[in-house]
Structure 1
Amino acid sequence: MHLSGALLLLTFLVPPAWALDAYGAAPANDPSADVPPFMILLALVSIGVIFHVTVQIPSGLLGTWLGRNRTAAVSYVLVLAVAGVLTSVLLWAVVEVGRVAHVFPLWADLMARGSVAMASYVWLSHHVLTRPARRPEGRAAVS
């Protein structure tokens, strides 16, 4: 989970459009309306942490559990399906926007960032964490 969370945080090195717009949203002659750059950075980190805890961890665990005896591709599709539903619920609860057209760009941005990070988790869980145990060399199997 730490790998997928770190990768999710790294995806925010390419800031979303709303963060870029926040730099130029206030008029230059009104310093009280400016958003300090550290607040935008804090918002990005907070969104990454909230998304990781509420969407990425549960969807990674549930998706890989549902796809435990399947291929990595099937597990990844299940993880993305669960993540899509959880992202929709999270955005509905936080943003409370009734129209899908208003939420869809934010949903798509979070899903694109999360899909990269969750792919690493699915790959790791299928290729590294589920390797069969090896017998030590030179020892016979005990029956």
Structure 2
Amino acid sequence: MHLSGTILLFTYVIPPAWALDAYGAAPADDPSADIPPIVIFAGLLFYCVGFHVLVQIPSGLLGTRLGPHHGGLVTYASTLAIAGVLTALALSVVLRREDAGELMQLWADFMVRGSLGLAGYVWITQRSREITKT
């Protein structure tokens, strides 16, 4: 799970749209209204850790348990399906947004970032199973 969390953290090198919007939310002539960069960085780190704990770890563990004998692609697909459901549940509970378009945009952002980390996790678990079989 450390690999998936590390990959997820590195995906935040390209910040999400809401973080970029936070930089431009204040008028240019009012510097006191700007959000300090440390707050945006802390928010990104909070979202990263929260997503890793609430979605990536459970979906990675469940997905690799459900499809160990079907191959890497089936395991990855089941892991992504579980992650999609958990992401939708977590976003709807935590954010309580009424705007479906905004919720869908956040869901897609989390899923793209999370899918890369989960791919690394599934790859590592498949390799470790191949090594232990020989």
Matched, 1:54 2:64: no
Count of residues paired in the alignment: 134
Q: Percent identity?
A: 52
Partner of 1:43: 43
The gaps in structure 1 that reach 5 residues or longer are: 135-143
Partner of 1:14: 14
Moved segments of 4+, more than 4 Å: none
The residue identity in structure 1 corresponding to 2:126 is H
How far did residue 132 of structure 1 move? 2.6
How far did residue 28 of structure 1 move? 2.4
Partner of 1:140: none
- TM-score between both structures, scaled by the size of structure 2: 0.94
How far did residue 31 of structure 1 move? 3.3
The gaps in structure 2 that reach 5 residues or longer are: none
Identify which of structures 1 and 2 has the higher relative contact order when contacts are C-alpha pairs closer than 8 Å and 6+ apart.
2
Q: Deviations over 1:97-117 (max 9, x none)?
A: 234212011100000000001
- TM-score between both structures, scaled by the size of structure 1: 0.89
The 1-side partners of 2:93 and 2:76 are apart by 25
Question: Would you tell me which structure has more helix in proportion to its own residues?
Answer: 2
The 1-side partners of 2:26 and 2:108 are apart by 26
Task: Please say which structure displays the higher CA radius of gyration.
Answer: 1
Q: Deviations over 1:35-84 (max 9, x none)?
A: 00010011001100000000000000000000111100000000000000
Matched, 1:5 2:9: no
Matched, 1:63 2:83: no
How far did residue 17 of structure 1 move? 1.0
